[in-house]
Structure 1
Amino acid sequence: MSDAPLIPKPDLVVSIVSHGHGPQVLALLKSVARLNRVVSRVVLTLNVPEPELRAAVGNLPFTLEVLCNEAPLGFGANHNKALAGATETHVCILNPDVVLDADPFESLMGAVAGKKSTCAYPVQVDGGGRIQDSEREIPSLWTLFRRRLMGRSEVRVDWVNAACLLMPTALWRELKGFDERYFMYCEDVDFCLRLKLNGGHLVKVPVKIIHAGQRASQRRLNHLAWHVRSLLRLWASPVYWRAQQLLTRAPSSKGTIGTR
C-alpha cells in the first residue's frame, strides 16, 4: 500500500479582483497553472477595463471565468458576486498582488478538511522573506495607539487580512460572504469577527505566499477617507461590540495549524 499523501481533488474556486493589476494578475494565473493540483475554477473580476489582460491570458488547465464591471465595485461586493452560486466544495479569496513560489491551496484545503467552521490562511512574507503584519487583534483606539505609536505587537489573532483566505463553500454561504456596506476596508475584519461569533475558527497554515502590497490609505486621500469611514462603521456595528465582549475574554493565542 502506498504511503503517499492523499491529494484533495480539484474542487476549489478562486476569486481574484483586478484593479488595473494586469501584469501581476497574468503572472499569478501562470503560477497557479504551473503549481496547481486542486484549483478547478478561477473567477477573475476586472473592476476597471483591461482588454489587454483578457487577450494575454491564453489557455489554462482550469476554467477561467472573466467578469467585467461596468462601474467599479468594492472589495466585498466583487468577491460576493464572483462566488455567488459556487458549486465547488471550497472557495478562496486571493489578492491580485500575491506572488506564489509554491502551491498554498493544497495545504490550505487540507487544513479545513472535515472542519466545516474553519477558515485557513497562509503565512504572508514580503519580497525579502520578512513576515508581514497580517494578523491582528480586534481594532480599537487602544490597539491602534499601541501598535502605531508604541510599536508593540498584537497579543491575539482576532482577524487576518483577506489577501488569501480559504474555506468550505458552505461556511462562506453560512456567513453570507462579505458585508457590502464596507467599501475597500474592514470587510475582512467584519468577516473574521462574524466567523468567530458564529463559533468558527481561523487557522494559520505553515505555507508561505509573497504579499508585498502597500496600504493605499497611507498614500491616497480618498483611500484614507474610505478607511476612516469603514472603521467608524465597524465601531458602530453590533458585530463589533459582541465580538469585543467575546474576544477580550478569550485566552491569548496565535492562530497556528492545529490550534484554535
Structure 2
Amino acid sequence: MKSGPSFPRGWISGNQNYEDMRKKLSLSIISHGHHVHVATLLQQLAKLDRSDFEVILTLNLPEPVALEALPYPVKLIQNATPKGFGANHNAAFLESTGDYFVILNPDIELLNDPFGPLLELAERDSLNICAPVIVDADGQVEDSARNFPTPYGLFKRLLCRLLGRPILPDTLRQDSDTVQPDWVAGMFVMVARANYERLGGFNDAYFLYFEDVEFGARARLAGCHILVCKRARVIHQAQRDSHRQLRFMWWHVQSAAKFFVSSAYLRVLIRRMAKAG
C-alpha cells in the first residue's frame, strides 16, 4: 500500500474533541466531481441514529463541498492530481482510525441504517468481508455480487450489452441470511481494519476498474469470507460511464486484461482446478 498524499488536509469534527475521534467505522468516500451526491449522502449519514463513525472524504478533483454542522467527524483530503480508485481508498485508510474500514460510493442512497446488520455479520468472524444488497432506483437488485469473471464470460456480457440483450445473473451460493459471491463491487464494502491491512488494501496498479475483483481474489485466497447481508439494502444511482464513453470502456478492457494475467487470478484458477480434479 502506497503512502497517502502529502497535500493539505484537515479535520472538521462538529462538536467532538480530537481525542474522542476513534470510531467503530471509518467511511471512505471518493468524489470525482460528485459534490451533489456527496452532499446528499452526508446529510443521510447525519440522520442516522449512531455516533460510532467518521468520514474520510477525498476530493479527486477541485469542487465545492459543504461540511459545516455535521454531527460526526470528517477528514478532508484534497488531491493535487487525480488518483485511481484503489490508490484513493488506500490513502484514506492511512488516515482512518476505525475498527472497520468501509468503502462507500458517493452515489449510494441509504434507505435506512445498513451499518447495524453489516456490523453484526462482520463481528461473527474476523475474516468476514461484508456488503449490503445493492438495488437500482427502481428497486431491482443489481449484479454487484458475482462469481469471478472469465475472459469468455466478460466478452459474452459485453456482447449482450452491445446487442441490448439481458444479462443473466450469476448463480451464487446463499443461505437465509447471506449471499456468498466470489467478490462484491467496491461501491459499498465493510472490511475489518486488520484484514484490510493484512491484504495490503487495493492494488493501486489498477486505475478505475477491477480493483474490487482483484481484491476479492486475494481476500478469498487468504481465507476471507465475502458475504452480502440480506438484511441491509441500499440504492445505487448508477453512472455506467464505461458503457457511455469510449475512454472508460478502454480503461475497463485494460483492467480486465491486467486481472486475467494477475497472480491472484492464476492462483484462483489453479486452486479450483485442483479441487475439481
Distance 1:162 1:249 in 2: 29
Whether 1:22 and 2:35 are equivalent positions in the alignment is yes
1:49-74 CA distance string (max 9 Å, x none): 01x21xx2211121100100000000
SS of the residue 2:101 aligns to? strand
The 3 A distance-change label for structure 1 pair 138 and 38 is: farther
Number of residue equivalences: 240
Aligned amino acid, residue 270 of structure 2: Q
The 1:191/1:38 distance shift into structure 2, 3 A limit, reads farther
Which letter maps to 2:254?
R
- How far, CA to CA, are the matches of 1:19 and 1:189 in structure 2? 21
Deviations 1:145-179 (Å, cap 9, x if unpaired)? Answer: 45454833212421110110002100010111100
Partner of 1:219: 244
Question: Which residue of 203, 206, 209 maps to 1:182?
Answer: 206
Q: Which consecutive residues of structure 1, in runs of 5 or more, have no partner in the other structure?
A: 1-8, 252-260
- Please tell me whether the aligned partners of residues 151 and 260 of structure 2 are also in contact (alpha carbons under 8 angstroms): no
- Give the aligned residue type for 1:20: G
Name the structure 1 match of 2:216.
192
Question: For residues 82-134 of structure 1, what are the alpha-carbon distances to aligned partners after superposition, in whole Å with 9 as ceiling and x for unaligned?
Answer: 11153321110000100112111121111111411110000000111111111
> In 1, distance between residues paired with 2:52 and 2:206?
28
Q: Does 1:65 align with 2:75?
A: yes
Determine which of 110, 118, 138 is the counterpart of 1:100: 110
Measured at CA, do residues 71 and 222 of structure 1 come closer, stay the same or move farther in structure 2, by a change above 3 Å?
same
Please give the alpha-carbon distance, in whole angstroms, between the structure 2 residues aligned to 1:233 and 1:190. 10
Q: Deviations over 1:5-42 (max 9, x none)?
A: xxxx9511000000011111011011011014154210
Q: TM-score normalized by structure 1?
A: 0.87
Question: Which of 194, 197, 201 is equivalent to 2:225?
Answer: 201
Kept in 1, the 8 Å contact 2:54–2:73? The answer is: yes
- Alpha carbon RMSD of aligned pairs, Å? 1.9
Show the counterpart of 1:124: 134
So what's the TM-score if we normalise by structure 2? Answer: 0.81
Contact 1:14 1:39 (C-alpha < 8 Å) held by counterparts: no
Rounded to whole Å, the distance in 2 between the matches of 1:96 and 1:161 is 14
